[in-house]
Amino acid sequence: QVQLVESGGGLVQPGESLRLSCVGSGTTFRTYTMAWYRQIPGKRREWVAIITLGDTTNYADSVKGRFTISRSSAGDAIYLQMNDLRPEDTAMYYCNSPRAYTSNFVPVAGEVWPWGQGTQVTVSS
């Protein structure tokens, strides 16, 4: 059973940066399209960023130009560099592999693995 472990969250002020990391026990991400998602209590989980096997990336409009998704060279981790953080970025952040994505590189059709615990990002002054 693959267990996803996210880390790197924290409490920051608006305009600051964080770098999230995701690793998976029992798997490598080298052969998977991967994505970051986030969820606010009471709301549906939403995707934030995707990176395909060919390293094509796409971002939700709300984070475009501020967040960057990447893979480790060994393929055993993915990262989310978050710059110019805003209070509306406050959420629990998760990684997973989307089962499919559209021609516009938007995740669809659910996720491959059970969700991990996530890492909390709080942006507040």
> Could you read off the pLDDT of 34-70 as tens digits, one per residue?
999 999 999 999 999 999 999 999 999 999 999 999 9
Per-residue pLDDT averaged across 20-41, rounded? 94
- Tens-place pLDDT, residues 67-84: 999 999 998 999 999 999
Give pLDDT, residue 44. Answer: 95
pLDDT of the residue at 1: 84
pLDDT given for residue 27 in this prediction: 85
| Mean pLDDT computed over every residue of the chain | 96
Residue 6 to residue 120: CA distance in whole angstroms: 9
